[in-house]
């Protein structure tokens, strides 16, 4: 376990390239090192920041007055009780199944997209629409990562985690994870450090049914149809690239934390209020995007509200701007500061509230800052 206390700048570990130094920085390459680093800091009363791929993180310019523990544990395997250090590929062992699905177990420090790519290559269906998402696998249960009609709550069956309160390793089943839209029992609680995630995937060369209208259109199928896994992956990667949502050092629009705000979910009276405000602002025929939720509420599009409130793509000052490809991503070209990014985020939030009466909530995790 490498421990460095020479002020490692966290900017180098975030996709936004923002954030000051951590007091101490630990690189944990095994579960034991990870548990040891977090457990020891907890016993000493030292604040802990568990650092994954940094793709959903906004860190203060002042940095983090505690120990950042970088998760660098690796290993993907399948089957309950199967070998936990089976090396780099997605290996299948007999008995590793549930309801006819193949169980794939992966350590938190695995990079998410190569994991998806391997599943697609090996004919394991269920995560293909989550292609091109940056970050580490261990972060996916925390905010129930989702895109293009799929989210990880559909395939995660178990999360093995270090429980900081009890000081022991625990296993949470799907119910205990309490998944919701971009949320889970883990989000904001900081009680658990994810060590390993088990997915149940179909052994099938076809994708799960395509649910996202834009993706179905791109693939030339009707919603509900299935397509070869590779086609689904390629189509999602193409769509994400077009929105600046696939990391690319040559594309400054990808220096972001993905969607900066969650899509608001509105009660019926908020819907009525929004209808009125949209008509007042944009004319009687104007309609806003509506995605019905199972509980009767309505999800709308934060990107649409931002656009229509007057914050067009590319809006901003200096290096900190709204992406030129997607209104929901805030980006930092070279030389920006977290404070500038937050000033822009506040301006957007306040402008959308003034125009439409809806208060946007940040989606990335904030460290040492608030909106």
Query: Cβ closer to ligand EPU: 64 or 288?
Result: 288
Interface mask toward ligand EPU for 148-167; x: CB under 6 A: x-------------------
Residue matched to tokens 């290996």 = 91
Query: Cβ closer to ligand EPU: 106 or 327?
Result: 327
- Say which DSSP state 227 is in: -
- Residue 258 found at the interface with ligand EPU (CB under 6 A): yes
Query: Cβ closer to ligand EPU: 122 or 275?
Result: 275
Query: Cβ closer to ligand EPU: 101 or 308?
Result: 308
Residue of 30, 111, 304, 351 interacting with ligand EPU (CB under 6 A): 304
Q: Are 332 and 7 in contact (CB under 8 A)?
A: no
**Nearest approach, Cβ of 80 to ligand EPU (angstroms)?**
31
Q: Are 233 and 117 in contact (CB under 8 A)?
A: yes
Burial track 347-359 (b if 16+ CB lie within 10 A, e otherwise): ebbebbeebbebe
- Residue 113 found at the interface with ligand EPU (CB under 6 A): no
**Nearest approach, Cβ of 331 to ligand EPU (angstroms)?**
13
Q: Are 240 and 132 in contact (CB under 8 A)?
A: yes
Which long-range contacts does 231-234 make (Cβ < 8 Å, 24+ apart)?
231/207, 232/120, 232/128, 232/129, 232/131, 232/207, 233/116, 233/117, 233/120, 233/128, 233/131
- Residue 243 found at the interface with ligand EPU (CB under 6 A): yes
Residue of 27, 151, 158, 307 interacting with ligand EPU (CB under 6 A): 307
End-to-end CA distance of the chain: 35
Q: Which of residues 259-298 bind ligand EPU (CB under 6 A)?
A: 259, 262-263, 289
- Residue 221 found at the interface with ligand EPU (CB under 6 A): no
Query: Cβ closer to ligand EPU: 78 or 262?
Result: 262
Of residues 349, 363, 371, the one with CA closest to residue 56: 363
Of residues 303, 128, 119, 155, the one with CA closest to residue 215: 128
Residue 276's CB is within 10 A of a number of other CB atoms, namely 11
Query: Cβ closer to ligand EPU: 139 or 195?
Result: 139
Task: Provide the annotated active-site residues.
Answer: 182, 259, 363
- Residue 363 found at the interface with ligand EPU (CB under 6 A): yes
- Residue 326 found at the interface with ligand EPU (CB under 6 A): yes
Q: Please tell me the distance from the alpha carbon of residue 78 to that of residue 133, in angstroms, as a whole number.
A: 22
Q: Are 81 and 40 in contact (CB under 8 A)?
A: no
- Nearest residue to ligand EPU, scored by beta-carbon proximity: 258
Q: What is the DSSP string of 69-87?
A: EEE----EEESTT--TT--
Chain-centroid distance, C-alpha 275: 30
Q: Please tell me the distance from the alpha carbon of residue 173 to that of residue 2, in angstroms, as a whole number.
A: 32
- Residue 245 found at the interface with ligand EPU (CB under 6 A): yes
**Nearest approach, Cβ of 147 to ligand EPU (angstroms)?**
4
**Nearest approach, Cβ of 365 to ligand EPU (angstroms)?**
12
- Residue 328 found at the interface with ligand EPU (CB under 6 A): yes
Interface mask toward ligand EPU for 164-203; x: CB under 6 A: ----------------------------------------
- Residue 128 found at the interface with ligand EPU (CB under 6 A): no
Q: Which of residues 7-36 bind ligand EPU (CB under 6 A)?
A: none
**Nearest approach, Cβ of 342 to ligand EPU (angstroms)?**
18
Binding site for ligand EPU (CB under 6 A): 147-148, 212, 214, 243, 245, 258-259, 262-263, 289, 301, 303-304, 307, 313, 326-328, 363
């Amino acid at each position: 376990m490498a421990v460095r206390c020479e002020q490692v700048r966290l900017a180098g570990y975030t996709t936004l390239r923002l954030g000051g130094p951590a007091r101490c920085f630990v690189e944990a390459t095994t579960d034991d090192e990870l548990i040891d680093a977090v457990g020891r800091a907890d016993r000493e009363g030292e604040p802990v920041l568990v650092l994954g791929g940094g793709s959903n993180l906004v860190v203060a310019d002042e940095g983090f007055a505690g120990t950042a523990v970088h998760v660098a544990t690796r290993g993907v395997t399948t089957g309950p009780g199967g070998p936990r250090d089976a090396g780099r590929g997605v290996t299948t062992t007999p008995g590793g199944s549930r309801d006819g699905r193949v169980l794939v177990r992966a350590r938190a420090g695995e990079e998410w997209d190569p994991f998806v790519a391997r599943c697609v290559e090996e004919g394991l269906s269920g995560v293909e629409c989550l292609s091109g998402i940056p970050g580490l696998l261990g972060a996916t249960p925390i905010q129930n990562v989702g895109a293009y009609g799929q989210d990880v709550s559909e395939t995660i069956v178990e999360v093995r985690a270090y429980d900081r309160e009890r000081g022991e390793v625990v296993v949470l089943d799907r119910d205990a994870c309490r998944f919701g839209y971009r949320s889970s029992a883990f989000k904001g609680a900081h009680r658990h450090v994810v060590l390993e995630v088990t997915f149940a995937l179909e052994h099938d060369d076809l994708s799960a049914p395509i649910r996202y209208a834009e993706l179905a259109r791109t693939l030339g199928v009707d919603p509900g149809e299935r397509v070869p896994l590779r086609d689904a992956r390629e189509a999602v990667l193409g769509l994400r690239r077009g929105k600046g949502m696939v990391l690319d050092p040559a594309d400054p629009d990808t220096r972001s934390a993905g969607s900066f705000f969650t899509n608001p979910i509105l009660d019926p009276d908020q819907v009525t209020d929004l209808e009125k405000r949209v008509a007042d602002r944009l004319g009687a025929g104007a309609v806003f995007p509506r995605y019905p939720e199972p509980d009767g509420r309505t999800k709308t599009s934060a990107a649409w509200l931002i656009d229509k409130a007057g914050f067009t793509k590319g809006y901003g000052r200096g290096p900190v701007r709204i992406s030129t490809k997607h209104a929901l991503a805030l980006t930092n070209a070279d030389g920006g500061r977290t404070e500038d990014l937050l000033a822009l985020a506040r301006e957007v939030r306040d402008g959308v509230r003034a125009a439409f009466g809806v208060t946007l909530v940040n989606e990335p995790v904030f460290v040492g800052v608030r909106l």
